Amino acid sequence: MNIHSLTDFLDKAQCQFRIYDLGRKVTKISASDFKKVELNQVPYPYPLQQHAWVAVVFWQVNNPQHYIWFLKLPLDERGLLLAGPQTHFIQLVVEALGASLEKQPDEKQQERLANNPYTFKPAEHKTAVFHAKLNLDLARPASRYYEQAHAYFSGQLDWQQWQQLGMQGIADVAVRLKQDSNEAHVSEALAKLPDTPLCILLEALEHQVISTQLTEKLVEFAHRQLAEKPQLATLALRAISSSKAKGLRQALLKQQLASNLGQDPQWFIAVAARCWQDLAEPDFLAQYLEQLAPIDDGQLFVQLFADLVAQPELRHLLLGKIREPERSPALNRAIGLLFG
């Protein structure tokens, strides 16, 4: 069998499949876009630590059983997928399962597949969001934890009764905002939730394309938290990072950068990890880099620059920034560390 790529292999095995990014956010990647990545026609859209972190979900048309591979595939410095590791992984699969993928792998075969250098175990909160999204995308019901989480966020339970909620149930509510009045319930609950379920909810929302109305509520919430609980203000910013209301998010970013968060390392990390697309605005990028430069004597600048310069939409902007002659002494020092 002449196989050139992962999707080629799945096509030849007559599998239906879906691809999701699990590196930066839990985001679906269309089959056509992923095929362009495999052919090196475009860089991988969401690189993290010079890898593509993907979930591949596949199934045979006549078999309801779905299988999932969590794959960590290396990229070159331009964000292009390296061909060798992908081919090697396919060889390992064919050795373990054969080329048809029709039969249920036995314990020994599963062990052989699990023990390869290209698989990874996602963080618990991302796993929960991924399964919630997958169930919705495949028109399957939410998990068994959804009902209780829905009852909690709709105010039917005492706000202190959060210990019995599963993380999966909270993720299901965040993914199904358009169902069962969940968006309205979440908006109302923001001011009442204890910190633990609130933080889990906000982390789950960052993977959703949320409405302008919910974005407005989260921006108000972020303003209220800024003085007393700045870490919640940062989480609220992360929660709107996939929002349609780009203007509201960018206004909040600029306000937070000008506030006490403009010296907080965790805020800069959150922006790089979740709001990196907003750094494509040249003036905001310049301000972000200037205020990042002195933190931790420039060490954080070096780490975040390496991460951001790998993002396809930021690469040319950042390379242009380090060539600009007019820079503050702190930014000069930080850029010097990049080449040191």
CA–CA separation, 130 and 338 (whole Å): 35
According to DSSP, the β-strands at 15-21 and 67-74 are: unpaired
Look up residue 321 and give its amino acid.
K
- Mean pLDDT, residues 190-219 taken together: 98
For the stretch 284-319, pLDDT in tens is 999 999 999 999 999 999 999 999 999 999 999 999
20: exposed, middle or buried (Cβ count in 10 Å: 0-12, 13-18, 19+):
buried
Q: Using 50, 70 and 90 to split pLDDT, how confident is the model at 201?
A: very high
Domain segments of the chain: what residues?
A: 6-114, 127-208, 209-340
**What does the pLDDT read at residue 45?**
96
pLDDT above 80 for 99: no
Helices (H), the chain: 6-12, 31-38, 83-97, 107-114, 124-137, 146-153, 167-175, 182-189, 195-205, 212-225, 230-239, 246-257, 265-274, 282-292, 299-308, 315-321, 329-339
- Mean pLDDT, residues 149-174 taken together: 96
- Mean pLDDT, residues 152-164 taken together: 96
**What does the pLDDT read at residue 113?**
72
**What does the pLDDT read at residue 21?**
98
For the stretch 242-270, pLDDT in tens is 999 999 999 999 999 999 999 999 999 99
Q: Decide if 234 contacts 198 (C-beta within 8 A).
A: no
Q: Decide if 47 contacts 27 (C-beta within 8 A).
A: no
- Mean pLDDT, residues 313-337 taken together: 92
CA–CA separation, 238 and 249 (whole Å): 10
pLDDT above 90 for 214: yes
> Average pLDDT over the chain, rounded to whole?
93
pLDDT above 60 for 1: no
State pTM to two decimals: 0.93
Which residues are 71's β-sheet partners?
A: 54, 119
- Mean pLDDT, residues 41-53 taken together: 96
**What does the pLDDT read at residue 108?**
75
